[in-house]
Amino acid sequence: MALRSAGEPFTRPEERRGEGKAIVLISCAHLISHLYYLVLPPLFPLLKERFGVGYIELGLALTLFNIVSAFTQAPMGFLVDRIGSRRVLIAGLCLGGFGWISLGFNLTYNWMLVVGVLGGIANSVYHPADYAILSARIAETRIGRAFSIHTFAGFLGGAIAPGMMLLIAATAGVPAALITAGVLGVLAAVPLMLSPDLDTAGHAQRAAAASVVGPKIRLLTPAVLNLTLFFTLLSLSSGGIQSYTAAALTSGYGVSLSSANLALTAFLLLSAFGVLAGGFVADMTRRHGDVAAASYAVCAALTLAIAVFSPGAALITALMGLSGFLSGMISPSRDMLVRRAAPPGAAGRVFGIVTTGFNIGGTIGPILFGWIMDRGEPRWIFGVSAAFMLATVVIALFGERQTRTEPMGNVPAAAE
């Protein structure tokens, strides 16, 4: 299948099928990546009892995951642009899958930390590989919606993870739940192994980098650095909710474990549908920073309401669901901001650098929120998350003003 040229939309049926194939395969991989974020947190109450450790010790596995991913994600972006996205993505899926399978067969605290390291390496491939393929394969007029479908799949993976892990753990045991999660990653790699045509994305990016901007590309621009901070704050604001909602609601609000996980599922599931709505918004406006700021300001208010007041389980679920929908809406606009900041041919590298912010936040968050839980202050999980959300609003507004005064790194429909 031929790659699109600058400014050329896909119109022929075979090209549209190629778009659809790329979106489906990459979205499946992204679903697995987000499912893997939430393999352990729903099991924390069970693992705490099994291992005889505190929440800080359990959070260390997530911290290791994010530290390793933070250090390897940018190099993975360079690798994606050099050898192509498909092979890197296959390797990440298989490594992550085999890691969880091994933990199922050797369920010890020390091995959980090792798997956290392996999972961090595996996780580092998804964002640079996924976005590089989509940027190369999808027509400019549909790229916002393509990003939204991709992100929807990731949020859907996170939404199904708590229920899936708890259900399998309750019926077949924690080891079976971990093995099942690992097998899913390996299965997702199989269709990618059978799709060598996706390798051409890497070649197109190298050619564009050489022909459009020459051998040297300035990547660490103020816009890219600002977006890295933006992603860090996003990770901090959502990390506490995703990882500690179940523990916080059961210990601080008198909510049952099943009701707490229902509230978390509402947040994650409606986040996924918010992403789909955000895709249409992203294709209709260029003021992506303002969209992100407005949505996250309301999220902060809703999350703060949970922290300050004592709503019942049903109202908590409703508030978290609405907050999730709005937080999901910003994701396509967020991705469009990164794409706009990326020089032609450098999508993998820029997404690799910027999404390192997720891992920086993920490194700090588990320890911070675990410390809050161990101090017996579960309401502060939501209060601190709301504070990070407000900081995200400020950065989004600043970034929007900044991009209006800077030349865009990524010209529309560049042959990435």
Q: What structural domains and CATH numbers belong to the chain?
A: 16-405 (1.20.1250.20)
The whole-number pLDDT of residue 211 equals 43
* End-to-end CA, the chain: 15
Give the HSE-up count for residue 315: Cα atoms under 13 Å, Cβ half-sphere. Answer: 10
Question: For residue 302, what are the contacts with CB-CB under 8 A and spacing of at least 6?
Answer: 319, 320, 322, 323, 326
Q: Pick left, alpha or beta for residue 153 (phi over 0 → left; psi -120 to 50 → alpha; otherwise beta).
A: alpha
pLDDT, tens digit, 9 for 90 and up, residues 333-354: 777 777 777 776 666 677 778 8
Predicted local distance difference test score (pLDDT) of residue 101: 97
Identify whether the C-beta of residue 361 lies closer than 8 Å to the C-beta of residue 395: no
Distance CA(191)–CA(206), nearest Å, equals 25
What six digits make up the tokens of 320? 């978290």
| DSSP summary character for residue 40 | S
Rounded CA separation 229/359 (Å): 11
Query: Do the Cβ atoms of 261 and 162 come closer than 8 Å?
Result: yes
Q: Is the dihedral of CA 247, 302, 339, 13 positive or negative?
A: positive
Q: Which residues of the chain have pLDDT under 50?
A: 1-10, 200-215, 407-416
Buried b (16+ CB within 10 A) or exposed e, 202-214: bebbeebbeebbe
For residue 143 the two structure tokens come to: 């790229």
What pLDDT is attached to residue 245? 85
Angle formed by the axes of helices 85-105 and 55-83, to 10°? 150
Give the model's pLDDT for residue 93. Answer: 95
Among candidate residues 17, 335, 415, the one with its CA nearest the CA of residue 195: 17
Residue 131 identity (one-letter amino acid): Y
397, amino acid identity: L
CB 25 within 8 Å of CB 198: yes
pLDDT of residue 189: 94
What's the confidence (pLDDT) of residue 401? 64
| pLDDT value, residue 110 | 95
pLDDT tens per residue across span 65-76:
988 988 888 788
pLDDT at residue number 39 = 92
For residues 356 and 73, the answer to whether their CB atoms sit within 8 Å is yes
pLDDT computed for residue 116 by the predictor: 93
pLDDT of residue 119: 94
DSSP 270-290: HHHHHHHHHHHHHHH-S-HHH
Each residue's pLDDT tens digit, 251-272: 888 888 788 888 888 898 888 8
Contacts of 388 (CB under 8 A, 6+ apart): 233, 236, 237
pLDDT of residue 411: 38
Q: At 285, list the tokens.
A: 């406006």
SS (HEC) of 323-386: HHHHHHHHHHHHHHHHHHHCCCCCHHHHHHHHCHHHHHHHHHHHHHHHHHHHCCCCHHHHHHHH
Contact between 345 and 213 (Cβ < 8 Å): yes
In angstroms, the CA 315 to CA 73 distance is 38
CA distance linking residue 269 with residue 271, whole number of Å? 5
Here the tokens at position 218 are 């300035």
